[in-house]
Amino acid sequence: IAASVVPKTHYYTAHIGDVLTLDWSAVNGKDATIWLKLTMPSTPVTITLPSTITAWRDDFGNTASAPDMSTAGTYWIFIHKDAAQVWANAKKVA
């Protein structure tokens, strides 16, 4: 998943065994956010989220856990990189 100077939504359908990675090279040295709309298929599969995410946060900035994506549906994952860390927030929306 490549970050860009102008944020855009990345659409992704999970496939068994996928390992997602992040590419921040286009925004090197800048704060940036990646918007990922992930679809978990009707038979959920196991994927690996980017290992560079150093923290998960809830809507209020508190420490949270990586999302439980064990059910089919649509998940929004917001991944933000700043000078200190790469953190993310995720929720199932459908």
pLDDT in tens, 60-70: 999 999 999 99
What's the pLDDT at 40? Answer: 96
Q: Taking 90 as the threshold, does the pLDDT of residue 41 lie above it?
A: yes
* Cα separation, 64 vs 89, whole angstroms: 8
26 phi and psi angles, rounded to 5 deg = -70, -15
Average pLDDT in the 10-29 region?
A: 93
Give the mean pLDDT of 6-25: 93
Is the pLDDT reported for residue 6 higher than 90?
no
Q: What is the pTM of this model?
A: 0.88
pLDDT value of residue 83: 84
